[in-house]
Structure 1
Amino acid sequence: MAKREQIEFDIQGMTCDSCSSNRSSKPVVERKVEKPGSSVGRRDGRFDLMVIGAGSAGFAAAIKAAELGYRVAMVETGTVGGTCVNVGCVPSKTLIRAMDQYHQAGSQRFRGVHTLRAALHWAQIIADKDELVAEMRQSKYIDVLAAYPQVTYIQGRARLTRENGVEIDGKSYTPDKIVIATGAQPWAPPISGLRVGASHDSPSDYLTSTTAMELKELPSSMIVLGANAVGLELAQTFARAGTHVTLLELLPRIAPFEDEEISQALEDYLEEEGLQIITGFQTARVDKSEGRYILTGSQDGKDITLDADQLLVATGRRPNTSGLGLEEAGVRLGKRGEILVDETLRTENPNVYAAGDVTGQDMFVYTAAYGGGVAAENALTGAGRVYDVAYIPRITFTDPQIASVGLTEEQACLQGYTVEASTLPMSFVPRALAARDTRGLIKLVADTDSDRLLGAHILAPEAGEMIQTAMLAIRFDITLTQLRATMFPYLTNVEGLKLAALAFEKDVTMLSCCAG
């Protein structure tokens, strides 16, 4: 029987000082299961691979190396699990779903159903969120790590010292290969009066996506700076909890990297829920007076002053590369501090690879995991696998959700395709009619010369459950003709993809149920 051992991990944060200050807490006890007879690294202190960072990319790299039969060291200075489970996907989607339920209780769509929205216990929701995070960190990371005896976990701060030398809290190692997977942290633009924290003793005096999800009390008002995925999700979540939210975006529209029709439709839905949205907003200064944030800026040359109890800055993320000794090791960085890699995820140092958010690419947990495996295999075997992310589906978990894959209509035109697009309102999808929720649309972008699908863009409740079908169609060159001939189950929202494909050549309002 496997022996259970109690090991303490101090919950300090991610791989950087700034994130550590956001996760300060008393130490908690986490379990690690050791296999009988497992050994720790090589007796000479050397490893085939050292992975710096214990998030999604780091774990994928370590597991891939272990499966290939190599000895691995995994180094982490903060909390095991990285961004997604600790301060990203898991906690945010938990809060989003909780507020979905709360919102729906007060906005019943069926006339014969009457519901009562009672009091909201925000502190309990936060406590439940924290409990889920701890459970998933244990089951999906710590227990998983314990199942691989080839992997040695080292708690400490790593710094590259030469071509393949690593120093961890004063102790030197010389692994054969290195994968850097230190992730990223919230980034704030240089705005006058906005103090960016540099340490636990000098934290930022505004909310980030991390600290916003740790609030034990709801603010009465909040300004959210940035209307891409993170800003949109948290803005709607707090608005549904009862906070008056003002959402600001520098670019001309919210969700600025999505299809324009989807951006505009989502803006309309959010405004119907009471969010104040200002696009094209140039922030000039942030001040704090009597506990309130005062933000001054302009829109179309007109000065605007806003104030709120809290300010949430959701303007992007910055790779965690400071203090790693990368220059000394011959690892080149880009303008945003990202590690520059080639198509195999190798840096300019042939012994060092990088994967995940630290490369500044994509910044999705699933691409980080994929990249970690690619980097480890290439580093150890010279396989030369290409990091291929040509067909990445992405989801913004607003309500309705945005789900996209492939090219937008504008992107396809710029790339020289002969483009035709079909836009199908969700009001033409029978499942949406039955659910009394016809918010949203499905837009397909196709190349008329080849009949191939180039992009799919969906705004709908649970759109994320639909996008993978479109991704497979694009990935495997399924034509519109083939998509139209494919059977879809009825009543489902994903049937809307077939209807949108039919709309290229038919008036779908003239179709009977299931007919195509």
Structure 2
Amino acid sequence: MYKEIINLDIIGMTCDHCATGIEKLLSKNEGIKETNVSYTKATCECAYDPSKTSKEEIIKTINGTKNYRVKGEIPENGSGGNNQFNLIIIGGGSAAFSAAIKAESLGLTTLMINGRLDFGGTCVNVGCVPSKNLIRAGEAAYHSTHSNFAGIKPRGVDIDFAQIIKDKKRLVATLQEKKYMNVVSDFENLTMLKGWAKFKDSKTIEVDGKEYKALKFLIATGATTNIPNIEGLDKIDYLTNVSLFDLEEKPESITIMGAGYIGLEIAMAYNRLGVKVRIIEFTDRVLRSQMPDISEALETQMRKEGIEILPNFRAVKFEQKEEEIIIHCKCPDGSFTEIVENGKVVIATGTKPNTHTMGLQNVGLELTKTGHILVNEKMETNLVNIYAVGDVANTPAYVYTAAFEGKIAVENAFSGAENKADYSSLPWVVFTDPQVAGAGLDEAQAEAEGIPFEVSKLELKDVPRAIAANDTRGFIKLIRNTETDKLVGARVVAPEGGELIQQLSMAIKYGITVKELADSFYPYLTLGEGIKLAAITFGKDVSELSCCAS
């Protein structure tokens, strides 16, 4: 008897029982003589009689199941019509594109629906890319008017604000096309759609009156500025980072509501570009999420540069009077005052997840108290076929974590993987000057977790690189477990301090001890040498050591 043998890659198996189930299903076809399905290899070897069945019929049988499909083959229940897909991604940012790239590699028919910002999302359009571009422009202007060396006399700077914004727009457009649209332009299984998606049930969404169905859904709709409910705010022409970064006419001044990382980055960039900046913060200090010594270091530099900071001031009313905006505030002592803003008001009071228009109440998706979609380490929600990633989920809100989550969510949903997100050593940076960077736990977090810890704090005045550069702003702080000597956390406040944090993140992740950090070689007159000195500081006073001593 003549037989043909085919080898297929199977997506969707999660255990050996799945493999057995596929074998039983295929055995019902009398033309199939032998099957061997492997969960661990994600393969199916099938011997069949071509006079009684065909390769296409075998693939159709597998693809006709709810959870399994043949990689690279289009199943009838995945895209048999214009509105049926294996995967529907709701959102168009970094998490969505990462997910789409992984889905294409698995041969999944995918629909990406984006309804807010341009494709590419917050990072490239109104977040990381434009903000860091303007921060660097501000730094160039600042260093043209300020010098750390008595023998160098800056001659000043001529700022063409409109040109800076036009160049920023050009950069955004280039990266949006090059790093997002061009990447997926030749994808055979991806459909991209502009519109707002709303769930009708757990397997169906509606966009502009048309229904679309999928085996799995991935919500990656991101977050947007949280506009506080303050009297009169909706009556003034306020800005957020979305509108501020496109403003080509330089405002005379801005008042920023909020002193989180977004507000602080905006403040330093625009102040250095010649805009008078004021910050109103309702808590007692800037960057309230960090320890007080970090806030103090930032406030000192910002005030030195002429930025007005009003901590413990709470705006209670906004009022437009001709060309002026009157901000009625409650002062720290309980009295009230009126602050006059002749330029623009910028809202930077945190973000909120984009979930309110999606009809999540129709499917019973579980949310946190802050409105984020609740997910576990595998990006799974309480519904088996719906995943959530990025800023819309209760995970760290960074572009690199969003991209990672998009990838593992698709792998977990369709390949039976058990990938988990571990953020215990996650590095992060606030791009002020000096920069603030961190990884792992700070002192308060270590104490809250009951970890026996000790802190070493090295001022940059004791780091040779900083001394030689005449710029000793900031410090390096290490937190170690006193029982194991392993590094559990780090905080850096320093010019370009973000360049140090990846090494410290890796040390935390791989259980490097403080002794090992202290005993390692570091190039002399690098900022990285400060890590060695901070490690030594647990047992010695480095101010009393020779430059090359250890």
- Please say whether Structure 1 and Structure 2 have the same fold, judged by a TM-score greater than 0.5: yes
Secondary structure in 2 matching 1:195: helix
Q: Give the Å deviation of 1:127.
A: 0.1
Of stretches 310-319 and 375-384 in structure 1, the one that deviates more from structure 2 is 375-384
| Aligned CA-pair RMSD | 1.9
Are residue 42 (structure 1) and residue 75 (structure 2) matched? no
Q: What is the CA–CA distance in structure 2 between the aligned matches of 1:416 and 1:330, rounded to whole Å?
A: 36
Are residue 192 (structure 1) and residue 224 (structure 2) matched? no
Amino acid at match of 2:247: L
After TM superposition, list the pairs within 5 Å mapping 1:66-145 onto structure 2.
66-78=104-116, 79-145=118-184
Q: What is the CA–CA distance in structure 1 between the aligned matches of 2:402 and 2:548, rounded to whole Å?
A: 39
Q: What is the CA–CA distance in structure 2 between the aligned matches of 1:351 and 1:459, rounded to whole Å?
A: 43
- CA deviations on 1:385-407 (whole Å, 9 max, x unpaired) are 22222222111111111011111
Q: What is the CA–CA distance in structure 1 between the aligned matches of 2:484 and 2:96, rounded to whole Å?
A: 40
Q: 2:99 aligns with which of 61, 73, 76?
A: 61
Q: What is the CA–CA distance in structure 1 between the aligned matches of 2:410 and 2:134, rounded to whole Å?
A: 34
Quote the residue 1:329 is aligned against. 363
Q: What is the CA–CA distance in structure 2 between the aligned matches of 1:256 and 1:497, rounded to whole Å?
A: 25
Aligned 8 A contact 1:280 1:299 in 2: yes
Aligned 8 A contact 1:49 1:380 in 2: no
Quote the residue 1:257 is aligned against. 289
Quote the residue 2:442 is aligned against. 408
Aligned 8 A contact 2:100 2:190 in 1: yes
Question: How much identity, in percent, do the aligned residues show?
Answer: 42
Q: What is the CA–CA distance in structure 2 between the aligned matches of 1:176 and 1:158, rounded to whole Å?
A: 16
Q: 1:285 aligns with which of 314, 317, 323?
A: 317
**TM-score, normalising length from structure 2?**
0.83
Q: What is the CA–CA distance in structure 2 between the aligned matches of 1:402 and 1:454, rounded to whole Å?
A: 18
Amino acid at match of 1:156: G
- CA deviations on 1:255-310 (whole Å, 9 max, x unpaired) are 11112211111111111111111112222111121222211222132323211121
Quote the residue 2:44 is aligned against. none
Quote the residue 1:233 is aligned against. 265
Q: 2:475 aligns with which of 420, 423, 441?
A: 441
Quote the residue 2:69 is aligned against. none
Aligned 8 A contact 1:392 1:406 in 2: yes
Secondary structure in 2 matching 1:458: strand
Quote the residue 1:30 is aligned against. none
Amino acid at match of 2:276: H
Q: What is the CA–CA distance in structure 2 between the aligned matches of 1:391 and 1:276, rounded to whole Å?
A: 34
In structure 1, list runs of 5 or more residues that go unmatched: 1-37, 197-203
Aligned 8 A contact 1:206 1:311 in 2: yes
Q: Give the Å deviation of 1:249.
A: 1.4
Q: What is the CA–CA distance in structure 1 between the aligned matches of 2:232 and 2:395, rounded to whole Å?
A: 30
Aligned 8 A contact 1:421 1:504 in 2: yes
Are residue 211 (structure 1) and residue 250 (structure 2) matched? no
Are residue 457 (structure 1) and residue 494 (structure 2) matched? no
Aligned 8 A contact 1:85 1:91 in 2: yes
Quote the residue 2:308 is aligned against. 276
Of stretches 427-436 and 297-306 in structure 1, the one that deviates more from structure 2 is 297-306
Aligned 8 A contact 2:74 2:108 in 1: no
Q: What is the CA–CA distance in structure 2 between the aligned matches of 1:438 and 1:319, rounded to whole Å?
A: 39
Quote the residue 2:353 is aligned against. 319
Of stretches 378-387 and 248-257 in structure 1, the one that deviates more from structure 2 is 378-387
Aligned 8 A contact 1:164 1:329 in 2: no
Aligned 8 A contact 2:79 2:86 in 1: no
Q: Give the Å deviation of 1:43.
A: 4.2
Quote the residue 1:349 is aligned against. 383
How many matched pairs?
Answer: 473
Secondary structure in 2 matching 1:422: strand
Q: Give the Å deviation of 1:331.
A: 1.6
Secondary structure in 2 matching 1:464: helix
- CA deviations on 1:209-245 (whole Å, 9 max, x unpaired) are 1111111122222211111100001011121122221
Amino acid at match of 1:303: F
Quote the residue 1:380 is aligned against. 414
Q: What is the CA–CA distance in structure 2 between the aligned matches of 1:172 and 1:51, rounded to whole Å?
A: 14
Structure number with greater CO (CA < 8 Å, separation at least 6) is: 1
Q: What is the CA–CA distance in structure 1 between the aligned matches of 2:268 and 2:274, rounded to whole Å?
A: 10
Q: Give the Å deviation of 1:360.
A: 4.0
Amino acid at match of 1:337: G
Quote the residue 1:27 is aligned against. none
Amino acid at match of 1:505: G
Q: What is the CA–CA distance in structure 2 between the aligned matches of 1:286 and 1:361, rounded to whole Å?
A: 34
Q: What is the CA–CA distance in structure 2 between the aligned matches of 1:495 and 1:432, rounded to whole Å?
A: 10
Q: What is the CA–CA distance in structure 2 between the aligned matches of 1:236 and 1:480, rounded to whole Å?
A: 34
Q: What is the CA–CA distance in structure 1 between the aligned matches of 2:268 and 2:445, rounded to whole Å?
A: 28
Secondary structure in 2 matching 1:159: strand
